[in-house]
Amino acid sequence: MTPNPALKGRTADTVKLLINGSFVESRTGEWHDVVNPATQEVLAQVPFATDAEIDAAVAAAKAAYKTWKNTPLAARARIMLKLQALVREHMSRIARTLSAEQGKTIADAEGDVFRGLEVVEHACSIGSLQMGEFAENVAGGVDTYTLRQPIGVCAGITPFNFPAMIPLWMFPMAIVCGNTFVLKPSEQDPLTPMLLAQLALEAGVPPGVLNIIHGGKRAVDAICTHPDIAAISFVGSTAVGTHVYNLGTQHGKRVQAMMGAKNHAVVLPDANKEQSLNALVGATFGAAGQRCMATSVTVLVGEAQRWIPDIVAKAKTLKVNAGSEQGTDVGPVISRAAKQRILGLLEDGVREGAKLELDGRGIKVNGFENGNFIGPTIFSGVTPTMKIYTTEIFGPVMVIVGVQTLNEAIDLINKNPFGNGTGLFTQSGAAARKFQNEIDVGQVGINVPIPVPVPFFSFTGSRGSKLGDLGPYGKQVIQFYTQTKTVTSRWFDDSTTGGGVNTTISLK
């Protein structure tokens, strides 16, 4: 076997590529460190795949599609049943890996895995999900029916903040519909997706049906322009998502792009105070604020503005530490670069005149002095023109805006360019109904801070948070990963006497 020159001088374990059922070493010359954000320990080194390796992954998926598309629904469902059992069995192992490379607490990491597992469980219902429609005798002796058929090689580009959940949103639903898949996970935490891929192969996913390549912009562009890829699913930043959507659609692909957010939670004075405070603080600071569905803006209406000291007091009770440590509430952010970006935005908030109610800068964690830690931070007196309001901070930061009426709150949210999620805390059914009817946001929670729907429904972010008309998982993703074929048929008995030539479109 020819030595791989790319491995010379490697100082850590190398992350593999998955091509045609085999985990293989990349021959690239470009490698990046996978770093524990709490310690700066290099956990592994991830390759940025070569153009030839990317082509090989797509070619393997294309070849496997020829037979996989004809695999019976029941056989595909049984693989998903096995996969969900394996993910459940290895939940703790996956969570520990995720926590080490991403920084989440173990509890939050398990939640990350579990929300992906729910989608795998839903994929087991493909026998009913992929059913078509049938209408008998739509004209004399004529029947019409629809078939939902796979579309070919699909690809997924996933972010760093949910290295288990988002890949599990994508490849199980794509392959259970009869497609094959090429996944490009985040280069910052690829170990968790690779572990999931091992379980997928163990569950019986055939060679070539699931492939994984690693990389940055070059890999993203290769996916968007590759002639053999039919559809792309993306979750991540607005800038990259817009690029993926534009480039992918220009090259004739279906694209769904779930992007940035600025999620608001509106609190009315009649809300249950203790429950609302717990929900707001948890939704803002959980996962160190690195959720696209995090509640980053709290809108206090009228007398609820008096709750600010209570919010601050609740946030002060949160424990900042490495995600691996017991009792941790807020772990580190993903990288040193992310920490510096967040700190810069906090400086902007101070400079623009927002009141810093709780300052999480400069926090030190004993035993983890090199970690990327920022403590819970709260600004009040924020206006819609401030940078901390207009920018997705993606860190443990709450900005508080005060208004006098529910109408003002609705108007504020509807003027924001993002439409991922929003929530209302109230005990008034009339206020809740008004809010859900008038708000222009794709996902709404009523006394629910993070309104991510269960997999029976679809993720429905809107406006500046979403490009493409179909969202991940649920009924919409079946539409995304299949194409509808309509068949109109008529059968004649041998004794049937034919009529004359019919030049009209009538089927009478």
Neighbours of 394 (CB within 10 A): 23
Q: What is the mean pLDDT of residues 146-162?
A: 97
Q: What is the pLDDT of residues 294-331, one digit of tens each?
A: 999 999 999 999 999 999 999 999 999 999 999 999 99
Choose, from 124, 154, 177, 292, the residue flagged as catalytic. Answer: 292
Q: What is the mean pLDDT of residues 148-166?
A: 97
Q: Which amino acid is at 461?
A: G
β-bridge partners, 229: 153
Phi, psi of 46 (to 5 degrees): -105, 135
Separation between Cα atoms, residue 135 and residue 142, nearest integer Å = 9
pLDDT higher than 70, residue 289: yes
Task: Please work out, in degrees rounded to the nearest 5, the angle formed at the alpha carbon of residue 403 by the alpha carbons of 398 and 407.
Answer: 115
Q: What is the mean pLDDT of residues 1-10?
A: 59
Instruction: Quote the pLDDT of residue 497.
Output: 63
Phi, psi of 296 (to 5 degrees): -95, -15
β-bridge partners, 320: 330
Instruction: Quote the pLDDT of residue 217.
Output: 97
Instruction: Quote the pLDDT of residue 132.
Output: 93
CB burial class (10 A; 0-12, 13-18, 19+) of residue 437? exposed
Cβ 111 vs Cβ 82: under 8 Å: no
Instruction: Quote the pLDDT of residue 493.
Output: 81
Q: Which amino acid is at 422?
A: T
pLDDT higher than 60, residue 202: yes
Both tokens of 7, joined, read: 């491995």
Q: What is the pLDDT of residues 335-371, one digit of tens each?
A: 999 999 999 999 999 999 999 999 999 999 999 999 9
CB burial class (10 A; 0-12, 13-18, 19+) of residue 390? exposed
3-state secondary structure of 436: helix
Cβ 21 vs Cβ 206: under 8 Å: yes
**Predicted confidence band of residue 12 (pLDDT cuts 50, 70, 90):** confident
Instruction: Quote the pLDDT of residue 41.
Output: 97
Q: What is the mean pLDDT of the chain?
A: 95
Instruction: Quote the pLDDT of residue 1.
Output: 43
Q: Which is more confidently placed, 478 or 2?
A: 478
Cβ 439 vs Cβ 460: under 8 Å: no
Percentage of the residues of the chain whose pLDDT score is greater than 70: 95
Q: What is the mean pLDDT of residues 20-43?
A: 97
Return all residues near 362 (Cβ < 8 A) that are at least 6 apart: none
Q: What is the pLDDT of residues 431-471, one digit of tens each?
A: 999 999 999 999 999 999 889 999 988 899 899 999 999 99
Separation between Cα atoms, residue 400 and residue 379, nearest integer Å = 6
292 is catalytic: yes
Instruction: Quote the pLDDT of residue 492.
Output: 86
Cβ 255 vs Cβ 248: under 8 Å: yes
Q: Tell me whether strands 180-184 and 210-212 are parallel, antiparallel or unpaired.
A: parallel
Instruction: Quote the pLDDT of residue 128.
Output: 93
Cα–Cα distance list, 495 to 11, 415, 492 (Å) = 80, 69, 8
pLDDT higher than 50, residue 220: yes
Q: What is the mean pLDDT of residues 221-232?
A: 98
pLDDT higher than 90, residue 68: yes
